[in-house]
């Protein structure tokens, strides 16, 4: 549910009974972070502020000053937002600093950063003294519409038979717990300093939400996205507030219905994985993004690029199986291209190798691939164990 509070601010409630919380979306919200935190955590006491090293120092200063004016004693820590640093070692170091600040139960940890920082700070908050409140202040579009909402926290784990260190052995989000935030504050002004690629990465998740919007109370979201994406890309504040609020509302509705990802159908949290089974598989394969005009990116795909390509491929697979409307994959590719996201990938390994990597996906059950696929009418369905011909055709649909 999205409710207007004032012209430039929307509040979305995540409906989880006594653990329900607000996601506030607006421009310039960090200036008022302290009073908002005081409303959910009480005035005074300590606040431990964990920031992403990529966040402009002014944003960190504004947040800390607002917390101090509201009576909080603030301790700051800055962490590097890389997948390799998203580790138990980083969490242990952070917990040591939290403990040294004499942080007590009931006192909040505040995360200011992208998805990696949201996940690390949330995990530290979940396990410090068996749980302290966490407040998420996401600084990227991706973190605003996904990682900061829904309570998934955790780190990656290095799993290798030989003990050798390599990114190939990094199992993403292998260790973690559900710990819902007490409050999420999305200040869209932060998106102004975000690298363009990062903004695009978040847009792919917005397209995904648009494709399943009818299932979660917003059947017009895809059409609105089509019409308004350029305004949002040019950082029009009103368009960004609407984009973030409507996408958060989708996430909130999904989480409210299936908090712990127990639903095995397209009507649960699994629906949020549309595009991610192929996406995760190709994200680490050092392929190059290929754009609609034929331009090619550097080796390696960003998460959003991989998810966009994953959407095209998975929908192509569903089309072949008669689950998705014919022509949908081409339409989605057109929308992604109009945003500036790639529509193909160069340098991909053979389809068989990608299918093997897809078996690592968390939705895999008993060695059978499961895809959550948009059907073309705003809904999502699960495709169980697609045939190798359908999978191969899907992967070939995005091969440059």
**Residue ranges that bind ligand GLY, judged by CB under 6 A:** 146, 150, 152, 261, 269, 272
> Nearest to residue 2, comparing CAs of 241, 208, 237, 261?
241
Least distance in Å: CB of 258 to ligand GLY?
A: 9
**Beta-bridge partner residues of 73:** 46
Nearer to ligand GLY, 274 or 341 (CB): 274
Least distance in Å: CB of 100 to ligand GLY?
A: 32
Least distance in Å: CB of 146 to ligand GLY?
A: 5
> Nearest to residue 53, comparing CAs of 89, 76, 80, 75?
80
Least distance in Å: CB of 152 to ligand GLY?
A: 5
Nearer to ligand GLY, 32 or 150 (CB): 150
Dihedral sign of CA atoms 102, 107, 113, 114 in order: positive
Nearer to ligand GLY, 246 or 269 (CB): 269
Least distance in Å: CB of 15 to ligand GLY?
A: 16
Nearer to ligand GLY, 261 or 361 (CB): 261
Residue number of the CB atom closest to ligand GLY:
272
How far from 22 is each of 11, 177, 194, CA to CA, in Å? 6, 20, 24
Nearer to ligand GLY, 107 or 261 (CB): 261
* 8-state DSSP, 1: -
Least distance in Å: CB of 261 to ligand GLY?
A: 6
How far from 1 is each of 205, 263, 308, CA to CA, in Å? 19, 21, 26
Nearer to ligand GLY, 13 or 399 (CB): 13
Return the structure tokens found at 155. 């780190």
d(C-alpha 31, C-alpha 28), whole Å: 6
Dihedral sign of CA atoms 3, 220, 265, 391 in order: negative
| Coil, strand or helix at 151 | coil
Nearer to ligand GLY, 74 or 307 (CB): 307
Run of H or E including 306:
helix 303-320
Least distance in Å: CB of 209 to ligand GLY?
A: 11
d(C-alpha 300, C-alpha 268), whole Å: 30
């Amino acid at each position: 549910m999205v409710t207007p509070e004032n012209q430039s601010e929307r509040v979305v409630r995540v409906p989880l009974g006594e653990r329900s919380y607000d996601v506030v979306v607006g421009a310039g919200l960090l200036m008022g972070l302290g009073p908002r935190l005081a409303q959910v955590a009480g005035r005074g006491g300590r606040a431990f502020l964990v920031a992403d090293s990529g966040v402009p120092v002014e944003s960190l200063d504004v947040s800390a000053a607002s917390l101090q004016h509201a009576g909080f004693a603030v301790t700051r820590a800055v962490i590097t937002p890389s997948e390799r640093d998203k580790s138990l070692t980083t969490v242990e170091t952070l917990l040591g600093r939290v403990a040294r600040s004499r942080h007590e139960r009931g006192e909040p940890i505040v995360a200011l950063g992208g998805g990696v920082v949201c996940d690390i700070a949330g995990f530290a908050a979940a396990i410090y003294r068996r749980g302290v409140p966490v407040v998420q202040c996401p600084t990227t579009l991706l973190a605003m519409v996904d990682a900061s909402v829904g309570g998934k926290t955790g780190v990656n784990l290095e799993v290798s038979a030989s003990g050798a260190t390599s990114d190939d052995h990094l199992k993403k989000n292998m260790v973690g717990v559900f710990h819902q935030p007490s409050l999420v504050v999305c200040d869209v002004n932060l998106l102004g300093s975000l690298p363009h690629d990062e903004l695009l990465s978040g847009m792919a998740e917005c397209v995904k939400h648009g494709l399943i919007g009818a299932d979660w109370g917003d059947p017009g979201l895809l059409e609105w996205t089509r019409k308004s994406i350029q305004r949002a890309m040019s950082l029009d504040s009103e368009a960004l507030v609407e984009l973030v609020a409507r996408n958060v509302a989708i996430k909130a509705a999904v989480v409210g219905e299936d908090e712990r990802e127990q639903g095995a159908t397209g009507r649960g949290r699994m629906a949020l994985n549309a595009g991610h089974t192929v996406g995760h598989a190709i994200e680490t394969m050092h392929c190059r993004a290929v754009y609609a005009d034929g331009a090619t990116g550097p080796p390696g795909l960003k998460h959003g690029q991989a998810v966009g390509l994953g959407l095209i491929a998975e929908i192509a697979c569903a089309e072949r199986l008669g689950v998705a409307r014919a022509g949908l994959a081409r339409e989605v590719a057109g929308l992604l291209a109009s945003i500036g996201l790639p529509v193909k990938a160069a340098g991909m390994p053979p389809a068989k190798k990608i299918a093997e990597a897809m078996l690592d996906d968390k939705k895999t059950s008993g060695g059978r691939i499961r895809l959550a696929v948009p059907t073309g009418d705003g809904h999502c369905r699960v495709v169980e164990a697609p045939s190798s011909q359908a999978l191969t055709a899907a992967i070939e649909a995005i091969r440059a």
